[in-house]
Amino acid sequence: MKDTNLIRKISAFIHDHLLSNYFDEKWVEMATAALLLLAVLILLVTVHVVLNKVFGFLFSAFGKRMKSNFMKYLYAFRFHNRLITLLLLNAFSHLLPDILHAYKTMVAPATTAVGVCMVAVVIFLLIAVANAFVKLLQDREGFRNKPFENYLQIIKMILFFCGVFASYTIVTGKSIISFLAAMGAASAVLMLLFKDTILGFAGSMQLMTNDMLRKGDWISMPQYGADGTVEEMNLTTVKVRNFDNTITTVPTYSLVSSSFQNWRGMSESGTRRFLRTINVIVSDVKFLDDKDLEKYLPIGDLKVFIEEKQKIFNQRNADLPVDTRIALNGHYLTNLDLFIQYAQWYLQNHPRISARATLLVRPQTAGGNGIPVQIYAFTQTTVWAQYEAIVAEVMNHLFASVGYFDLRVFEAPAASDSLSIKLQEPAAMAGAQKA
């Protein structure tokens, strides 16, 4: 009541002073209300600035003393600023009837406008709390890569619609039910306008519920030109930073409606697969006799492998009713068998190749490019540069080893090879004629 009497006294003072000195009677009421309104607004802004600094200091000090990051995040998202704004708007709404006592018809619209502003401030206040809570969760190891941005956007959407409903009630004085009934008639138009948002919401919920995608995951989606790390996830789009530092924006729902490759399993396992092929010329593959095998005995574990295989093959050959001295009639090792066994041994003993993951060296179906010998193994790192260095080291060693087993790597003839053959043909013919 005291505040009301004070406002009325100030209003009367301004009214009498203006009436006697500056304005005619018809302008006095308007000038009085305008000056009083300006004075109250200046006072509220001043109080807002002072309280903002005081509350900021209290939030900061309390957060340090309690060792709570939540208070720090509330301060960072300007929770205190919005709380002060809400309190001052509430005070302003109570002062309006006295400020505009000479204009009774303007009190209700002005109070309604302030009420709508208070609803907006409450929404922003709750959003600040939600932002601080999400930030607090992301500080924990188990929640660091969870897509809380999607949940946060859903919360913001819900708060937005709650704000719209509350503002409608304040402005019209009608219940929310009447608002929903009016919106029902326009539901088809709304669904068309918010189609992407609705699909994105459904897709986001599936991605989060099934843990299909997290921030920081490496994904490949060739149909959208995406091959990189997920930087941002929201209701409508997923932002992917490709390895060439370009940004690809993928619709959220497309990650559910179509396929994509997520490399998270590789990252979590700490290993990365590499699959390479060495094409061996078919005509270089041959049987090896005891004399041929002697030079391979000192290499790797080939001595054990050769002795075991010879023991098995000798038993088989002894049971055959043919002359097994002819290689075609019996069982004998080939130089390709030894190369495959050597490659297997080399990979198993390589310090950067995972021993606990699948490791295979196998010949595949021969074709026009020779016999493909497939190398299937996993490195002990997922770091791209290190991975490529390991693969290069392994393949260079195996390529250099092929010739030691009297094998050659298949190469398609180049233009220079054809030219060399053509140049050699006349020389050979000339030599034959002289002979």
Rg of the chain (C-alpha set)? 41
User: What's the confidence (pLDDT) of residue 374?
Assistant: 95
Tokens 């090792």, located at residue: 333
The list of the chain residues with pLDDT below 50 reads 1-4
User: What's the confidence (pLDDT) of residue 81?
Assistant: 83
User: What's the confidence (pLDDT) of residue 142?
Assistant: 64
User: What's the confidence (pLDDT) of residue 102?
Assistant: 62
User: What's the confidence (pLDDT) of residue 2?
Assistant: 44
In the chain, how long is the greatest CA-to-CA distance?
A: 139
3-state secondary structure of 78: coil
Residue type for position 229 = T
Number of Cβ within 10 Å of residue 127's Cβ equals 18
Tokens 């993928």, located at residue: 250
3-state secondary structure of 198: helix
User: What's the confidence (pLDDT) of residue 158?
Assistant: 81
User: What's the confidence (pLDDT) of residue 134?
Assistant: 81
User: What's the confidence (pLDDT) of residue 1?
Assistant: 38
User: What's the confidence (pLDDT) of residue 424?
Assistant: 58
| Separation between Cα atoms, residue 431 and residue 435, nearest integer Å | 6
**Whole-structure pTM value:** 0.56
User: What's the confidence (pLDDT) of residue 373?
Assistant: 95
